[in-house]
Amino acid sequence: PINVSYGYRLPRRGNTIDQANDDGYSRIADGDGDSFWKSNPYLDSYFTGEPDDAHPQWVVIDLGAIKPVNSIRIHWGTPCAERYRIEYWTEDDPMHLHQNSKDEWHLFPKGEANHSSGGDEYIRLSGKARSVRFLRILMSQSSGTSAERSNDIRDRLGFAIREIDVGRIDGQGRFHDCVHHAPDRHKQTVIYVSSTDPWHRPTDIDYGVEQPGLDFVLRGELTNGLPVLVPVGVLYGTPETATAEIKYLLKRQYPLEGIELGEEPDGQWVSPEGYAALYAGVAHRLSELSSSLKLGGPSLQNFESQLLTWPDASGDRSWMNRFLKYIRTAGCPFDFFSFEFYPFDDICSDSAPQLLEVPKRLGAMVASLRADGVPATIPWFMTEYGYSVFAGRHEVDIPGALFNADTVGAFLTLQGSKAYQYGYEPNYLVDELKCSWGNLMMLQLNPKNDQVNRLSAYYAAQLITKEWMQRMNETHDIFPVTVKQRKPTSSSAVTVYALRRPDKQWALLAINKHLNRSARLNVEFKFSGAQPPARLAGQVEVIQFSREQYAWRDDGPNGHPIRSLPPVHLTREASSSYELPPYSLTVLRGKLPDSR
């Protein structure tokens, strides 16, 4: 059985920044002439069946500030680019686009090459130096050669670059390089690439990157005996590896809910067509294993307003719209849609105003995706969610519980199908942004002993899955809720989510996000037609989690809960109103007088 898995470093890596431990570096600016970046060979026409220039590959160099540039020196690897363009960007950051940004890449006056033969190539881009921060090398035709004799066709596909120098030639003919070359993510000039060759060796294993193995998870109690959504690699894996993984699981007859083909492609700066081509290549192979497999993705990273990319020939800048268009044309399955939600990069700011924004932010994200063409007829999975991608105190204190409950309630009300919380495994505190200690976790490991602390997110998960919902694999009906305030404000401090459980009880999940003020909730059910409004009747179960049950001691790396108690359970007669303590979760559970 596979009980543990390890990560591998990619020796042909191109990006300076990664979305994992962020402790690697680009081989394009590492100062080592023997190392090189190589693009993903599975984007070549040999595998896609498309024209050679269907998936141009690119390298973007961020000089860190505007610099005078009139020259570039490219130290090509093998295969090299026979046809390419060198371009510059004039506005703000091209790697983080905004709706009001309309700029495009501009070709240097002498930035086009149609018959390059590789090697160490110097190009005078312009007579007069241009003021430039971002440059792009756009490669459209490969030499199709390999450095060494090889029977593996993949060695000859794509593009390879060993090093890049960018700068200017002065009046004395001296070249001034603006690129910082170092095998260190924090010391080298930042490089972005369109894709990376997933090639690696046994010696590239990283024992510091450890994950529970497939059998360890699927044989354990974490699944509750239910079918599991399983991921396969697309960007940094191969179709062969993905096929082997699913063959392994099918042979062992594990129940699979679906296969998620996704590695946050938008966060890796891959083009929608490039990612869709890789998705299609894997999806077609997996479909041949079993016609019953449900395939989907692409596990989008969190974004603001709209997910944008550089415009195509028609001017379309929608990443999702273009991705969907490609896979529909390719005729490959897209049985469900998946994305992630981490709304607050600023983990150092006060949590109270941020918590007020949760439903609105998630609603705007969902509306944007629907406008970009994601079908409402397929399941939507939120395959990761958390307060922030960064570690901080809010995640281990009461705000973490409020956020998790609000996110699940809002997503289901927006017709989402399932939400998967990030942070099941016990972990340690981290001071990631040097402002507070925390982590995305439900259970805290103690560095001094074997004690495991139950955190606020643990109790919130229990309250949602065991009290608000009925703990069974049956359909729960979600109903919309309108919260009317006596003194209207832009964002209500109270959000409420309603469902009818399989046991015919009505359950309300009420969240009071006011830091110091309790709220009184008047509950009334309104039905269509001539039916009169109704209120809960008879006995009502009240389950609450607040600072009465949980308190966090902020003590740097030694921080821990000084009070960690489960939600309190009360049974009381139905009332016209119910009190919600400050910063609290409350479940109200009962029946209506006529059992509606």
Q: Are strands 336-341 and 295-300 parallel, antiparallel or unpaired?
A: parallel
Give pLDDT, residue 595: 66
Give pLDDT, residue 590: 97
Give pLDDT, residue 57: 99
Residues 6+ apart with CB under 8 A from 201: 11
H or E stretch covering 69: strand 57-69
Give pLDDT, residue 303: 86
What is the residue whose two structure tokens read 């805290």? Answer: 444
Contact predicate 438/395, CB 8 Å: yes
Q: What are phi and psi of 582, to 5 degrees?
A: -60, 145
CA distances from 175 to 64, 125, 172, 319, 482 (A): 19, 13, 9, 39, 66
Torsion, Cα of 505, 506, 509, 514 (10° steps): -130
Give pLDDT, residue 103: 83
* Per-residue tokens: 510: 């009420």
CA distances from 275 to 123, 319, 408, 492 (A): 31, 10, 29, 40
Give pLDDT, residue 490: 64
Q: Cα angle vertex 567, ends 561, 571, to 5°?
A: 155
SS3 at position 155: helix
User: Hey, what amino acid is at 516?
Assistant: N
CA–CA distance, 12 with 198 (Å, rounded to integer): 8
Give pLDDT, residue 596: 62
DSSP string, 202-262: GGGEEEEEEEE-HHHHHTSGGGTTS-EEEEE-SSSS-HHHHHHHHHHHHHTT--EEEEEE-
Nearest to 494 by CA among 479, 478, 509, 477: 509
Give pLDDT, residue 342: 97
User: Hey, what amino acid is at 118?
Assistant: G
Q: Hey, where are the domains in the chain? A: 8-202, 212-468, 477-591
Maximal C-alpha separation, the chain: 93
CA–CA distance, 90 with 290 (Å, rounded to integer): 49
What is the residue whose two structure tokens read 């990006």? Answer: 15
Give pLDDT, residue 487: 77
Q: Cis link prior to 11 (omega < 30° from 0)?
A: no
Contact predicate 368/414, CB 8 Å: no
Residue 228 pairs with which residues in a beta bridge?
256
Considering the four listed CATH numbers 3.90.320.10, 3.20.20.70, 3.90.1150.10, 2.60.120.10, the one that applies to the domain covering 477-591 is 2.60.120.10
CA–CA distance, 14 with 12 (Å, rounded to integer): 7
pLDDT in tens, the chain (596 residues): 999 999 999 999 999 998 777 889 999 999 999 999 999 999 999 999 999 999 999 999 999 999 999 999 999 999 999 999 999 998 889 999 988 877 899 999 999 999 999 999 999 999 999 999 999 999 999 999 998 888 999 999 999 999 999 999 998 999 999 999 999 999 999 999 999 999 999 999 999 999 999 999 999 998 988 999 999 999 999 999 999 999 999 999 999 999 999 889 999 999 999 999 999 999 999 999 999 999 999 999 988 889 999 999 999 999 999 999 999 999 999 999 999 999 999 999 999 999 999 999 999 999 999 999 999 999 999 999 999 999 999 999 999 999 999 999 999 999 999 999 999 999 999 999 999 999 999 999 988 888 899 999 999 999 999 999 999 889 999 999 999 988 777 678 999 999 999 999 999 999 999 999 999 999 999 988 778 889 999 999 999 999 999 999 999 999 999 999 999 999 999 998 999 999 999 999 999 998 66
Question: How many residues would you count in the chain?
Answer: 596
Contact predicate 9/24, CB 8 Å: yes
| pTM of the predicted model as reported, rounded to 2 decimal places | 0.95
Nearest to 359 by CA among 402, 394, 306: 402
User: Hey, what amino acid is at 221?
Assistant: E
Classify domain 212-468 at the CATH topology level: TIM Barrel (3.20.20)
Q: What are phi and psi of 456, to 5 degrees?
A: -60, -35
Give pLDDT, residue 302: 84
Considering the four listed CATH numbers 3.40.640.10, 2.30.38.10, 2.60.120.260, 1.10.150.120, the one that applies to the domain covering 8-202 is 2.60.120.260
* Residue 207 CB neighbour total at 10 angstroms: 8
Burial (CB < 10 A; 0-12, 13-18, 19+), residue 490, is exposed
Q: Are strands 190-193 and 57-69 parallel, antiparallel or unpaired?
A: antiparallel
What's the sign of the alpha-carbon dihedral 390, 396, 402, 404? positive
Tally helices (H) and strands (E) across the chain. 9, 30
What's the sign of the alpha-carbon dihedral 23, 27, 28, 31? positive
Contact predicate 495/409, CB 8 Å: yes
Identical topology for domains 8-202 and 212-468: no
